[in-house]
Amino acid sequence: MEQARVNHLRRLILKGGGAGGVLACALAAGVLRPSLAHAADWNKAAFESKTLADALKHIGAEGAAESADIHIKAPEVAENGAVIPIEVSCRMAGAESIALLAEKNPFPLMAHAVLANGTEGYLNTRFKMGQTSVVKVVVKAGGKHYIASREIKVTIGGCGG
């Protein structure tokens, strides 16, 4: 079923006039790495992990090395836990993916982005957090995982009813 959904998404992308043919040629020529196609399956095990350690394990980032080259820009105190802006940028060359995790969220893994074809090690988004927690950012570069942490205090949670 997961596979079917991914195919749907791909079809959606291909819908643009003539683009399908171009992409099919690119695939046939092996220009697009097959690993990217695999990365497109929603990682249910990782997103449904209830602990940070499990989530890290399921994205293959166990034992990631602490790095000072990952810069996390986020408020120290978030007044509204439902909308916390975060900007991640990393100085190491060849960033392949960025994952965002919040230790105390019911499901710690928040997002996992695979970067390709010139996309820089940078990601900007907004996320929810129910309570004060340490936020972890995992960057994969040159086949190795690096991790950085940052505590964000929440005065009003963003997950409760």
Partner 1 sequence: MAEPMKIRTKMVDGAAQIFVLMIHPMETGQRKDPRSGQAYPAHYIQHVLATLNDKPVLDMQCGPAISKNPVFGFRVKGAKPGDKLVVAWEDNKGEKSRSEATIA
- Footprint of partner 1 on this chain (CB under 8 A)? 5-6, 8-10, 12-13, 15-16, 19, 22-23, 26, 32, 36, 39-40, 42-43, 47, 82-84, 87, 102, 105-107, 109-120, 122-129, 158-161
- Between 123 and 138, name the residue whose CB sits nearer to partner 1: 123
Closer residue to partner 1, CB minimum distance, 36 or 156 = 36
Angle, helices 2-14 vs 19-28, to 10°: value is: 120
Closer residue to partner 1, CB minimum distance, 16 or 62: 16
Q: Tell me how far, at minimum, the Cβ of 148 lies from partner 1, in Å.
A: 18
In the complex, what is the shortest distance from the CB of residue 120 to partner 1, in angstroms, rounded to a whole number? 4
CA distance 102 to 131: 10
| Residues 6 or more apart whose Cβ sits within 8 Å of residue 25 | none
Region for 98 from its dihedrals, namely left if φ exceeds 0, alpha if ψ lies in -120 to 50, beta otherwise:
beta
Q: How far is the CB of 62 from partner 1 (least distance, A)?
A: 19
Q: How far is the CB of 146 from partner 1 (least distance, A)?
A: 18
- Between 16 and 142, CB nearer to partner 1: 16
| Nearest-approach distance from CB 54 to partner 1, in angstroms | 13
Q: Where is 58: in which H helix or E strand?
A: helix 52-58
Residues 107, 129, 94: CA angle, nearest 5 degrees: 70
Q: Which is nearer to partner 1, 101 or 147 (CB)?
A: 101
Is-contact 145 56, C-beta < 8 A?
no
